[in-house]
Structure 1
Amino acid sequence: MHNLNAAKGWAELLAQAPGNLDRAWVDITSDPRSVANPSRQHRLKFELKSIKMGGAELEQWQYEITGGGRIWYAMADEERTLYLTLAGTGHPRQTDRRR
């Protein structure tokens, strides 16, 4: 996990929707850039589309677990590593664009 909040959110998702979380884990570890179901799994947009980690800029994607529950993850291709950057049962406010 990228941070303690992501770890706590993962535990909350596991308690709330274990089957959905398992499906998400299989999907993101087998094909983290899948566009087969764009309403469920897609790259984040705007300033959230990437995240800096260890001096590198990594793509950041989202997987919808439940109506509000989300996992955000970043990919380090050279290391073949996925970092969970956010996990939680509620819709992340960071995606709400201000007008």
Structure 2
Amino acid sequence: MDAARGWSDLLAQVPNNLDRAWVDITGDPRDMGNPSRQHRLKFDLKSIKLGGVELEQWQYEITGGGRIWYAIDDENRTLYITLAGTGHPRRTDRRR
């Protein structure tokens, strides 16, 4: 599922949660105040290459299963949504 479609699904199902997430990640994309909700991904998911540049990749838990993954581009002061969806992304299971 691409990020835009996943974002639309989240908006339809949990608009208040999505709004809170947007405020949180745009306010402080590296906030560690609630690490169970917002944290950097680990192992081979901790970064992603976009436009030839390696960027940190973070996760924000919207619901028990819903997630947003985003990459932080400090130089351009930009966040890229790399994944959004209502179900738990299985790519995080048993990573080393």
Bin for the TM-score computed over the shorter chain: over 0.9
| Pairing 1:83–2:80 present | yes
CA deviations over 1:49-96 (Å, ceiling 9, x no partner): 000001110000000000000000001100000000000000000000
Q: How many residues get paired?
A: 96
Asked if structure 1 preserves the Cα contact closer than 8 Å seen for 2:17 and 2:62, the reply is yes
| Pairing 1:62–2:56 present | no
TM-score by length of 2: 0.97
Change in Cα spacing, 1:67 to 1:76, as seen in structure 2 (3 Å) is same
Partners of 1:33 and 1:98 in 2: how far apart? 21
Partners of 2:72 and 2:61 in 1: how far apart? 17
Change in Cα spacing, 1:54 to 1:33, as seen in structure 2 (3 Å) is same
Could you say what the CA RMSD is over the residues aligned between the two structures, in angstroms?
1.3
| Pairing 1:11–2:8 present | yes
TM-score by length of 1: 0.94
Could you tell me the percent identity over the aligned residues?
80
| Pairing 1:71–2:52 present | no
SS of aligned partner of 2:2: helix
Change in Cα spacing, 1:14 to 1:47, as seen in structure 2 (3 Å) is same
Aligned to 2:24: 27
Moved over 6 A (4+): none
Unpaired segments of 5 or more residues in structure 1? none
Query: What one-letter code is carried by the residue in structure 1 that aligns with 2:4?
Result: A
